[in-house]
Structure 1
Amino acid sequence: MAKEEQFGNLEICIVSENKDKINEIQEVLNHFKIKLINCNAKKIEIQNDEINQIALYAALNAYNEVRKPLIVDDSALYIKSLLNFPGPYTSYVYKTIGIKGILKLMEGIKDRSATFKTSLVYVDEKGYKIFEGIVKGIITEEPRGNMGFGFDPIFKPDNANKTFAEMSIKEKNTYSHRAKAALNFGNWIINS
């Protein structure tokens, strides 16, 4: 029997309250016949300059709470001209100054290059593994689109004509940092 068939009924917990994020990851994991279920565990986020450490801490804490194989992800937006701000503080910056605040900080700035990075951590009884996904792009001059979440309306990936917020989940996943991390995870778990 092929390994992919063996995992036909694999269910993995995900620790997240963000339904859009869960849907994006599930869209990728459907290819591997992996179903995500909500863990109902707390996602404890520490202050750290590295998103790998933030995601790992949250994943290990959640695993200690539920004792089931699970994934946790954390993403960060790094804007080159802002010295990689907001970085690991992306969620907080979105909640406080939002898209308008970032665009205000970038007024008159020519270099609009940015990178989105996701760190996805898988934990089970054997330990943990970290999967990363990175996408390069630019910060647009103004918000475009009403799909997605967070800074999606102002992030346009390289080689695309649209912002993430102008794309369907399927289209976004052809570029997205989160989809790349989920694909790395799916390939690893099916082949391990």
Structure 2
Amino acid sequence: MKLCFATNNINKLREVQAMLGDQFSIVTLEEIGCTEDIPETKETIADNSAQKAEYIWDNYGINCFSDDTGLEVHALSGEPGVYSARYAGPQRNADDNMNLLLDKLTTASDRSAQFKTVITLVIDGIYHQFEGIVSGQIIHEKRGHEGFGYDPIFVPEDYSRTFAEMTMNEKAQLSHRARAFKKLTEFLQNN
């Protein structure tokens, strides 16, 4: 089955294709001729995910899925949340985002956090959503060179390494995105 993944993030594309394997063919935005920025103007991760999928379905009529992911830090009342990618500004720079988060947590004793991914799937105009959450801690300094985003400062529960210190395969076994995509894959296989 061919599905368009509504993202321009090459890291996400690689990670998702590895998770879905050969049973699904992922078509990129570029391959469907979508060169414009897809709006992300909603106030929640779930609504942003739905907005992106709806945009592709409404404008291109292609079965698709989109995801939106946010890091929610307990001591910061859920920040950066839906603004995770642009937390430190519109430049969407991962280092800037991590530095700002670490600065805000300088005196925090509670460093608990969770990554949340919500995937919206549109098949023939019918919408489905799948959520994946992984809990963990924000550490005090960046560690590791794998992954992307906040991976160098996030240690998942029951682990001692950051996502950025894990291989793509290790991360794919336990990440928020992996959990949401597992639900998506199971849904696709059973329907």
* Fold shared by both chains (TM-score > 0.5): yes
Distance, in Å, in 2 between the alignment partners of 1:45 and 1:132 is: 20
CA-CA distance at 1:163 after TM superposition: 0.6
Partner of 2:62: 68
Deviation by residue 1:73-117 (Cα, 9 ceiling, x = unmatched) = 100000000111111110111526421111111002111000100
Match of 2:173 in 1: 174
Residues 44 and 87 (structure 1 numbering): CA distance in 2 closer, same or farther, change over 3 Å?
same
Rounded to whole Å, the distance in 2 between the matches of 1:64 and 1:51 is: 20
Aligned counterpart, 2:104: 105
Question: Is 1:46 matched up with 2:40?
Answer: yes
Alignment partner, residue 93 of structure 1: 87
Amino acid in the other structure paired with 2:23? K
Q: In 1, distance between residues paired with 2:23 and 2:151?
A: 27
Looking at structure 1, the residues matched to 52 and 144 of structure 2 have their Cα atoms a distance apart, in angstroms, of 31
Bigger relative contact order, structure 1 or 2 (CA pairs below 8 A, ≥6 apart): 1
Matched, 1:138 2:132: no
Amino acid at match of 2:132: G
Letter in structure 2 aligned against 1:74: D
CA distance in 1, matches of 2:37, 2:46: 14
8 Å contact kept, 1:43–1:58: no
Partner of 2:77: 83
RMSD: 1.5
Report the CA distance between 1:39 and its aligned residue.
2.8
Task: Count residues with an aligned counterpart.
Answer: 182
Match of 1:34 in 2: 24
- Aligned equivalents of 1:166, 1:183: Cα separation in 2: 22
Q: Is the 8 A contact 1:45 1:55 kept in 2?
A: no
1:129 aligns with 2:128: yes
- Quick check: 1:77–1:90 contact (8 Å CA) kept in 2? yes
Runs of 4+ in 1 over 6 A off after TM superposition: none
Instruction: Provide the secondary structure at the position in 2 that maps to 1:91.
Output: helix
For residue 171 of structure 1, report the CA deviation from its aligned partner. Answer: 0.4
Which amino acid in structure 1 is aligned with residue 27 of structure 2?
A: I
Q: CA deviation at 1:36?
A: 1.1
Q: Deviations over 1:5-36 (max 9, x none)?
A: xxxxx221111111111111111111x71121
* Structure 2 gap segments, 5+ residues each: none
Identity %: 31
Amino acid corresponding to residue 4 of structure 2 in structure 1: C
TM-score normalised according to structure 2 size: 0.90
Is 21-30 or 39-48 further displaced after alignment? 39-48
**Among candidates 22, 29, 49, match of residue 13 of structure 2:** 22
Change (3 A) 1:15 1:46: closer
Amino acid at match of 1:62: I
